[in-house]
């Protein structure tokens, strides 16, 4: 185990995904979300295939014992990606990032509902805290305590991104099922393939011919998506998940910086306050999971 290397790889993956999202955002005014999903997924595949070859896992990546599990994971994951990309056209990058933090909170709820995982008072309290933070982030876009009514596009953006976070949480529930029979290489590869196929369904709904600059940005987003996935996978090979998982929230810092300097997006105190609550809740859940894991390693489960 090399914890420092794992942390650096995790932070690098987070930065890569935020840069990828910013490239998608730069094209969102003209390129439909479904088309962006196609570019993001299609051009990630060569990167992933080369990585699997270098790891000697290419044959493993093609083998699956649960093809329908990959279909359901791919469906939820592709919808989540499409909703997130669509939301980038309506809302600032930091706000989309903050709302997406609802996903790991919802995973706790869905894991209890669909996987039978026990959720005790501490995690319930953390989820409530986090969802309160999400509500605070959403409040100006939903006329909750706002001085001025939000625009319909802003409200639509909130609903789109929130639905995407819900689908992302469901996708993670399917991943939790898949890891019992599938390798990481298989899950990564089949998600990319499935999302390419599903994105083509949106072809009749307004795909456009991107400009050369937009095409370059979309291709770069796809390549970065593949690189980010590799960095993320590598990070979990170098250190315990409980150590590196909290560094996922570095994405807010990167989103704030890119949003401010590239897109002239100035965050509000309401958004920052709500995001701080969501990040705190997420870290509390990660800490609790780590503590329970240590207790289970010492003896009988304590819940």
pLDDT tens digits, 264-288: 999 999 999 999 999 999 999 888 8
pLDDT in tens, 244-253: 888 999 999 9
- The token pair at 4 is 């420092």
Q: State the average pLDDT over residues 171-189.
A: 89
Name the least confident of 25-29, 136-140, 215-219: 136-140
User: Average pLDDT, whole number, for the chain?
Assistant: 89
Q: According to the model, what pLDDT value does residue 298 have?
A: 57
With a cut of 80, say whether residue 146 has pLDDT above it: no
**Which tokens belong to 111?**
């894991």
Percentage of the chain lying above the pLDDT 70 cut: 93
In this predicted structure, the answer to whether residue 300 has a pLDDT above a threshold of 70 is no
Q: How crowded is residue 250: how many other Cβ atoms within 10 Å of its Cβ?
A: 17
Cα atoms in the Cβ-side hemisphere of radius 13 Å centred on 159: 8
Q: What is the pLDDT of residues 18-49, one digit of tens each?
A: 999 999 999 999 999 999 999 999 999 999 99
Interior angle at CA 246, CA 181 and CA 287, nearest 5: 80
The pLDDT value given to residue 302: 38
Closest CA to 158 of 241, 98, 77: 98
**How much is the average pLDDT of 127-131?**
93
Q: Quick one: what percent of the chain has pLDDT higher than 90? A: 65
Six token digits for residue 143: 């006329």
Which pLDDT score is estimated for 276?
A: 95
Question: Is-above-0.95 flag for pTM?
Answer: no
* Residue environment code for 9-43, b if the CB has 16+ CB neighbours within 10 A, otherwise e: bbbbbbbbbbbbbbbbbbbbeebbbbbbbbbbbbb
Q: Give the lowest-confidence range in 106-115, 195-204, 262-271.
A: 106-115
Closest alpha carbon to 274 in 98, 85, 155: 98
11-20, 138-147, 267-276: lowest mean pLDDT where?
A: 138-147
Q: pLDDT at position 301, please?
A: 43
Residue 297's pLDDT band (boundaries 50, 70, 90)?
low
């Amino acid at each position: 185990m090399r914890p420092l290397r794992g942390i650096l790889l995790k932070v690098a993956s987070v930065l890569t995904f935020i840069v990828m999202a910013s490239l998608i955002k730069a094209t969102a005014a003209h390129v439909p979300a479904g088309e962006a999903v196609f570019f993001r997924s299609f051009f990630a595949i060569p990167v992933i295939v080369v990585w699997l070859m270098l790891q000697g896992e290419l044959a493993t990546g093609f083998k699956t014992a649960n093809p329908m599990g990959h279909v359901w994971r791919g469906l939820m994951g592709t919808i989540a990606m499409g909703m997130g990309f669509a939301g980038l056209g309506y809302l600032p990058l930091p706000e989309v990032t903050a709302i997406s933090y609802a996903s790991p909170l919802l995973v706790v709820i869905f894991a209890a509902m669909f996987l039978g995982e026990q959720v005790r008072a501490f995690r319930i309290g953390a989820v409530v805290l986090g969802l309160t933070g999400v509500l605070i982030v959403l409040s100006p876009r939903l006329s909750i305590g706002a001085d001025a009514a939000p625009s319909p596009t802003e409200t639509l953006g909130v609903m789109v991104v929130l639905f995407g976070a819900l689908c992302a949480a469901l996708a993670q529930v399917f991943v939790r099922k898949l890891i019992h029979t599938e390798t990481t290489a298989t899950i990564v590869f089949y998600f990319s393939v499935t999302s390419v196929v599903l994105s083509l369904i949106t072809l009749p709904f307004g795909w456009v011919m991107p400009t050369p600059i937009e095409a370059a940005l979309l291709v770069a987003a796809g390549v970065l998506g593949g690189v980010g996935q590799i960095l993320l996978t590598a990070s979990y090979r170098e250190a315990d998940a409980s150590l590196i998982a909290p560094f996922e929230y570095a994405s807010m810092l990167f989103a704030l910086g890119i949003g401010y300097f590239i897109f002239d997006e100035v965050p509000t105190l309401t958004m920052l306050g709500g995001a701080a609550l969501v990040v705190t809740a997420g870290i509390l859940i990660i800490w609790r999971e780590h503590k329970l894991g240590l207790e289970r390693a010492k003896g009988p489960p304590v819940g």
